[in-house]
Structure 1
Amino acid sequence: MQAHLSSPSFLHDKPLISAVDVQATNPKQNRLPFLLATIASGFSILVPITAQAAASTIEQITIYQGLASVTRALPISGTGEQTLVFSCLSPAIEPDSVSVQALGNVNIGEVSIQTLSGEQAAQCQYQGAANVQTQQNNLADISAELEAAHLTKAYLQNLTKVTQITTAGTLANNARDLETQAASINKKILELQKRQARAKDDLNQLVAGSTTSTQNNVTQVSVRTASRSASSVKLHYQVQGASWEPTYQARLNTDNKQLHITASAVIAQQTGENWNNVPIILSTVNPHQTTTSQLPRVKRLSLYEEQQAKMTRFAQPMMERDAAPVVVVSASDSYGGAENMAPLPSFTVSSQNKNGITEYRLPQRVSIPSDGRHVRTVIDEQSGTSKLWLRSTPSAETAAYWYASAPFLTPAWADGSLQLYRDDNYIGQSRYEYQSLKEQGIGFGIDPSLLVKQLTDEDKKGDKGVFNRQQTKTITQAYQFTNQHDRSVRLQVLSAEPVSSDDSIKVTAAHTPAISQKDWNDNKGMVAWEFDLPSKQAQVVQSTYQISYPADKKLSTN
């Protein structure tokens, strides 16, 4: 571990004392730091002191899409000038995001960011690696016992070759002893082989679940402080490799029309840091989004001159990256840390909308190892009475699908996968997209009890004639819908009318029965019928379109 010590000053009347407060994951590996003291005579001596092993604690983690903001804290014990070391941090820290804040009457000096490797990084061994090492040692012990057992067996097998047996009694006794010892050693070998196989399986599982147990590189941040009383220093930084995504389950009961939707968050991280028992906030903001809008492009017109287009580039000054800037916050500035945990966890997530950004604060502390495993937690639940109907688009598919409205849908829920259950049966998967579901409803799969049959689908062209300047085309579509349910159902049928994009093309439409909505959901040309279809009853829907256009033209459909 390295730390920055204060430079000695020979201009002070009193000796200047520097102490080092370090973090170490293994106290046995701490190296003895030294206290640099300047005595009045002007000579400097190195006085060994005992370092205070203060492991930094994680006070809050906010997870976005692709990265996380982490807040850590280290205590300041004693008075005077000290260098605090935040060690064993992720190698994926963004240096530009590092900032330091001190609480109380504390002065902040320089902040140093280092990347350590080799032996120093090996000291940052996580619990996963410790478990792997323990299991490796256990497997080595079993293998040693097994090898010794095989040697013993080989010795017994060769014992008669090197021993002279003179009497029958001695031969019988030796034979019985050899049989007993051979049976015992064979039994022991079988038991050791079983233990070895189980130990290998356990080791493989630990290795699979601890892919980041030992880091090749780690980040270390050293903060120089001066204080007159005990306090603490907070370190804020952003780290790549963490993300969360929402997932939803929608459960529909078609008998009582109840719809229940559960929103969950699936969290995973491979930052290089193991987050054990930490407070988590999930944010719907995407930090990789574009932060500025585009300017309109001005068209410049000319008639008699051909001018080359001139590209104007606005180059924004780049900050020099030789030394990563560190933001230092004064002690007087306030910071909103993690809320005090309730005495008994309720597991009810609180949410807050900040002008379009939703934050979910998990009430319980969560452990998320840095091995990519998924941690799932419920963040919201909504339920209520839904409007149900069956929807069919017979020109595309002769089938009908269950649909439900959800008045409690909210744009605060981010887009994600949507698992669908109808009457306690898993139907399939869709997407939660607020605008689409709000307009069209939530689809819950095909209904085999609503039969759709095509009756007519034909095109007819009229005769042009010698003096006829117009030709016509007639399209007729008819479909029959039969309700085989034991109760009445609400049926919605969607169809599309031809739309003319030329003034010389005329379209007339006739629908039986009359349509309920034209330009359905603001989609030009889409029409809809909506009606109640009684049990065991059938309904025919028919549309006739007549298209007229110039006889010397060809009709194009796109």
Structure 2
Amino acid sequence: MRAYFLTAPVFTDHNDSKKPSRLVLKRFMIPLSLVSLAALSVYPAQAAMSSVEQVTIYQGLASVTRALPINGTGEQTLIFSCLSPSINQDSVSVQALGTVNVGEVSIETLSGEQAAQCQYQGDTKVQTQQNNLADITAELEAARLAKAYLQNLTKVTQISTDGTLANNARDLETQAASINKRILDIQQRQARAQDALNQLMAGSATSTRNSVTQVSVRTASRSPSSVKLHYQVRGAGWEPTYQARLNTESKELSITASAVIAQQTGENWSNIPVTLSTVNPNQNTTSQLPKVQRLSLYEALQAKRARYAPAAMEAVPVVVSASDSYGGAESAANMAPLPSFTVSSQNKNGITEYRLPQRVSIPSDGRRVRTVIDEQSGNSKLWLRSTPSVEQAAYWYASAPFLTPAWVDGSLQLYRDDNYVGQSRYSYQSLKEQGIGFGIDPNVLVKQLTDEDKQGDKGVFNRLQTLTTKQAYQFTNQHNRSVRLQVLSAEPISRDEDINVTATHTPAVTEQDWNDNKGMVAWEFDLPSKQSRVVQSTYQISYPADKKLNAN
């Protein structure tokens, strides 16, 4: 609190044997810090705020650790105020440091005026402006007290007839005029500060709270210590997002992994340490027991019903390793080193925690806070892939040898040669098998030459029907350099012993059952600059003439 002093006239009685008794005007400094307390007391005290020591964010909820100091000794009750109304009360636990006895823990929900006091508690700008307004108000009250004091002194001087008091009265009037001018100036500053506070509160990121949670902890201690409060609160989460950048000339591929954090818990987290966890608290915590078959005879209609529900897919553990690529170059000898924002990670038996090195502020308005958690780069294998039976186009693809199952699935932003080409989904399994697609290449032309079906009979006695399908496509490279081209096609698969399928490919396919996909075939070849190549497939299907062919 600021201290203000008033120069005030004081009359003292001096006894002098040679001169008649008279009042002498003197000045002395009066500290007004005490009287200004009356002005401050008209403002309601804000609820006590505990410090946030750690926040661990999961999917859909967060685990929060707060602390309050124990000042003094003996028995006392600590109150953790202005907590989220979405606290899971069953998760509340208390930890005392040192030799502290902990008694009962009371959890209650407050509403109305108590919640209103907490509404802007976590907003740093609002708090600063509230303190500024309180200082101005204290200064104004001090000036008003000084004015009232001078007015009382003026009344005292009016009851004396001593000629010298006229000069003293004029001195008092001068000081009163100066104080009046000061009061007007402080009132203008107070009005401007109040307007600024109203604007901040109107545009504050803090949402209006209808209720808040308050936790009271009864303690007994022989020395100062502290108490920590742990709880879980819903309304918080984070998700990974990736940016992949491909240089088709140098074949350099880099992938940056970021975490997008948001929360609407009702608590404003300002300048706090944050840890992100890949575990999903909403997942099953116990395995399922096998189902025992109990056999019996039943009607034919019931046989058509599905026996068992499909088994649930098991979540894949996620681990992301932090890189050292954000440390920066070595600083000059005469300069302080730059702070490093490299995220450290720790694998705890399939659960990965990312600990952010910097403190962050996450307001409770759903605002998305983004931070880089990893980056990997390296040389990539490039090729173009076309599936002409589906789309007559060729797409850029790149392999990423540094991919690991540790990276959690998320959105993937794609950049080719510094141009944004679209968005995909980061999934380790599919990207490892198929590569990362980077959009259509307009310099590779795909043209359909043949696509025809012929129906006929084969044989005199067995009466077989035949279906012959021919497909031919031409690929032309308009680049000024050779490209690697991969062409995918699908062969019909027989699921009946009475259906016979014969396939002929020109040229011969490079891979049958591509990527363990039965019936899928692939050609791979280099296509020189300004040249074309044709691939052709002929499929002959024979089946009994008295049957119909089902192509599904």
Q: Same fold (TM over 0.5)?
A: yes
Aligned partners of 2:474 and 2:124: how far apart in 1?
A: 67
1:402 pairs, out of 396, 406, 423, with: 396
Change (3 A) 1:58 1:343: farther
2:492 pairs, out of 494, 498, 516, with: 498
Residue 211 of structure 2 aligns to which amino acid in structure 1? Answer: N
Shift of 1:103: 1.2
| 8 A Cα contact 1:58 1:278, kept in partner | yes
Shift of 1:453: 0.6
Q: Which residue of 2 aligns with 1:384?
A: 378
**Structure 1, unaligned runs of 5 or more:** 1-25, 32-52, 139-195, 309-341
Aligned partners of 1:305 and 1:434: how far apart in 2?
A: 46
| 8 A Cα contact 1:475 1:546, kept in partner | yes
Q: Which residue of 2 aligns with 1:510?
A: 504
Change (3 A) 1:502 1:408: same
1:117 pairs, out of 91, 111, 122, with: 111
Map residues 254-273 of structure 1 onto 2, 5 A cutoff. 254-273=248-267
Secondary structure at 2:400's aligned position in 1?
Answer: coil
Aligned partners of 1:364 and 1:94: how far apart in 2?
A: 28
Deviation by residue 1:255-312 (Cα, 9 ceiling, x = unmatched): 0000011111111111111100000001111111122222222221134999x9xxxx
Shift of 1:368: 0.7
> CA RMSD of the aligned region, Å?
2.9
Aligned partners of 1:232 and 1:131: how far apart in 2?
A: 28
Q: Which residue of 2 aligns with 1:161?
A: none
| 8 A Cα contact 1:259 1:383, kept in partner | yes
In the alignment, structure 1 residue 414 sits paired with structure 2 residue 408: yes
Q: Which residue of 1 aligns with 2:426?
A: 432
Change (3 A) 1:467 1:451: same
Identity level (%):
79
Q: Which residue of 2 aligns with 1:29?
A: 44
Q: Which residue of 2 aligns with 1:549?
A: 543
Q: Which residue of 2 aligns with 1:474?
A: 468
| 8 A Cα contact 1:356 1:412, kept in partner | no
Q: Which residue of 2 aligns with 1:210?
A: 205
Aligned partners of 1:546 and 1:203: how far apart in 2?
A: 80
Secondary structure at 2:102's aligned position in 1?
Answer: strand
Change (3 A) 1:206 1:436: farther
Change (3 A) 1:206 1:226: closer
Aligned partners of 1:499 and 1:204: how far apart in 2?
A: 70
Residue 68 of structure 2 aligns to which amino acid in structure 1? Answer: L
1:227 pairs, out of 207, 221, 229, with: 221
Q: Which residue of 1 aligns with 2:293?
A: 299
Change (3 A) 1:255 1:219: same
Range that drifts further, 126-135 or 513-522: 126-135
Residue 205 of structure 2 aligns to which amino acid in structure 1? Answer: S
Residue 29 of structure 1 aligns to which amino acid in structure 2? Answer: P
Shift of 1:465: 6.4
Deviation by residue 1:338-394 (Cα, 9 ceiling, x = unmatched): xxxx99631111111222222111000001111111111111111100110000000
In the alignment, structure 1 residue 56 sits paired with structure 2 residue 71: no
Residue 73 of structure 2 aligns to which amino acid in structure 1? Answer: T
Q: Which residue of 2 aligns with 1:357?
A: 351
Residue 80 of structure 1 aligns to which amino acid in structure 2? Answer: G
1:519 pairs, out of 497, 513, 518, with: 513
Aligned partners of 1:537 and 1:478: how far apart in 2?
A: 17
TM (norm. structure 1) is: 0.70
Q: Which residue of 2 aligns with 1:238?
A: 232
Aligned partners of 2:526 and 2:298: how far apart in 1?
A: 67
Secondary structure at 2:90's aligned position in 1?
Answer: helix
Map residues 106-255 of structure 1 onto 2, 5 A cutoff. 106-126=100-120, 128=123, 131=126, 207=202, 209-212=204-207, 214-255=208-249
Aligned partners of 1:102 and 1:362: how far apart in 2?
A: 26
| 8 A Cα contact 1:251 1:423, kept in partner | yes
Change (3 A) 1:58 1:480: same
Secondary structure at 1:123's aligned position in 2?
Answer: helix
Secondary structure at 1:122's aligned position in 2?
Answer: helix
Deviation by residue 1:440-499 (Cα, 9 ceiling, x = unmatched): 110000000001011111111123565342121111111111111111111111000000
| 8 A Cα contact 1:93 1:238, kept in partner | yes
Q: Which residue of 2 aligns with 1:449?
A: 443
**Structure 2, unaligned runs of 5 or more:** 1-40, 134-191, 303-335
Change (3 A) 1:304 1:420: closer
| 8 A Cα contact 2:448 2:474, kept in partner | yes
Shift of 1:410: 2.2
1:282 pairs, out of 264, 276, 280, with: 276
Map residues 523-538 of structure 1 onto 2, 5 A cutoff. 523-538=517-532
Change (3 A) 1:96 1:119: same
1:94 pairs, out of 88, 95, 98, with: 88
Shift of 1:209: 5.0
Secondary structure at 1:436's aligned position in 2?
Answer: helix
| 8 A Cα contact 1:464 1:551, kept in partner | no
Residue 282 of structure 1 aligns to which amino acid in structure 2? Answer: L
Aligned partners of 1:430 and 1:128: how far apart in 2?
A: 37
Shift of 1:409: 1.4
Change (3 A) 1:305 1:507: closer
| 8 A Cα contact 2:472 2:534, kept in partner | yes
Residue 538 of structure 1 aligns to which amino acid in structure 2? Answer: S
Secondary structure at 2:390's aligned position in 1?
Answer: coil
Aligned partners of 1:271 and 1:373: how far apart in 2?
A: 12
Aligned partners of 1:388 and 1:203: how far apart in 2?
A: 59
Higher CA-based Rg: 2
Aligned partners of 2:209 and 2:299: how far apart in 1?
A: 65
